[in-house]
Structure 1
Amino acid sequence: MLIAFLLMIFAFVEVGNSIFTGDHVEAALSAISLLVIGFAVVETAKFIAEEEIMRKRELRSSTESRRSITKFITIIVIAASLEALVMVFKATRDGIEYAVYPAFLFIASMLALVALGTYQWLSSRIDSSSDERMDHGDL
């Protein structure tokens, strides 16, 4: 977490330095990129602290596991999407040939989001079918 906060401080320092230099937009985009990375690291560290240190439980229900996975993947998808967006803005300034990597990063983050939705849908169907079997006394 300390490293993430240092990244955020460097982002603000970079914006401050750009006031005296020249390229304000490039410095702002770089600062936003650093803030996004810092945000992702802080949120991931907070998630790990909540899940592993605070709870201190190994065995979880399927609902708890699904909630944890959803939270973690959501953090990753948000960070990757924001980083792709910043990179698209940088690519429009540098040249369209630099837009390939941001496009692939955005596609990858959207595929992760679709995979998360599929996981949630499938796991909820499994939970509901096991609940029905328990209601009928099959288990």
Structure 2
Amino acid sequence: MKKGFENLTTLIYLLFAVILTGISLAILWWSTTEVIEAIKNYVNKKEFILVMLQSVGTVIISIAILDISKYMIEEEVFRNKELREPKEARRTLTKIMTIIAIAVSVEGLVYIFKAGANDMHLLIYPAMLILTAVFVIIGLGIYQKLSYTVEH
């Protein structure tokens, strides 16, 4: 019974990892077509830069989704259900949180360009996004320091 349940959950993890991979590739495809369209229909510099920055953000998000999918396959399908060492957990969490911080930073940058062109009062949201990314990095640094100290 236990072995059957483990096989079922492994299959479910594999299915969701494959779905996430498909979503990641779809996002990447969409982003690429947006860039190609922006190059074909080059209207003005400001609009072109916004499309390019948005595409960078979506590519980073796509990579984050692909990385999560890879993690699910490595940890839940090919290995035992638990991380073997705290060092592995720290590395995996660091990688995922770094990608999230980059994605949030790029999104904040895109919104700064959009808001700065329209209304200066709209800069509060992008500033909060970038501040959030800073807090994520600070929190990650604290986590790294504390977990490294515990490991040794």
**Normalising by the residue count of structure 2, what TM-score does the alignment of the two structures yield?**
0.69
Q: Point out the more displaced range, 21-30 or 90-99.
A: 21-30
> Which of 57, 64, 71 pairs up with 1:33?
57
Structure with greater contact order relative to length (CA < 8 Å, sep ≥ 6):
2
1:122/1:93 Cα in 2 relative to 1: closer, same or farther (>3 Å)?
same
CA positional deviation for 1:118: 0.8
Q: Point out the more displaced range, 7-16 or 50-59.
A: 50-59
- For residue 18 of structure 2, what is the aligned residue in structure 1? none
| Identity over aligned pairs, percent | 32
The CA RMSD over aligned residues, in Å, is: 2.3
- For residue 36 of structure 2, what is the aligned residue in structure 1? 16
CA positional deviation for 1:104: 0.9
- For residue 148 of structure 2, what is the aligned residue in structure 1? 124
- For residue 6 of structure 1, what is the aligned residue in structure 2? 26
- For residue 94 of structure 1, what is the aligned residue in structure 2? 118
What letter matches 2:30 in structure 1? F
- Contact (CA 8 Å) 1:43, 1:75: kept in 2 or not? no
Equivalences for residues 66-105 of structure 1 within 5 A: 66-105=90-129
- Rg: which structure is higher? 1
What letter matches 1:75 in structure 2? I
Q: Per the alignment, in what secondary structure is the counterpart of residue 56 of structure 1?
A: coil
Q: Describe the superposition over 1:58-108 as per-residue Cα deviations: whole angstroms up to 9, x where unpaired.
A: 252222222222222122112222222222222222332222111111111
User: In the comparison of the two structures, how many residue pairs are matched?
Assistant: 128
Distance 2:89 2:135 in 1: 21
**Normalising by the residue count of structure 1, what TM-score does the alignment of the two structures yield?**
0.74
CA positional deviation for 1:21: 6.6
Distance 1:29 1:68 in 2: 27
Q: Unpaired runs of 5+ in structure 1?
A: 129-139
What letter matches 1:71 in structure 2? K
1:63/1:36 Cα in 2 relative to 1: closer, same or farther (>3 Å)?
closer
- Contact (CA 8 Å) 1:44, 1:75: kept in 2 or not? no
1:102/1:50 Cα in 2 relative to 1: closer, same or farther (>3 Å)?
farther
Q: Unpaired runs of 5+ in structure 2?
A: 1-20
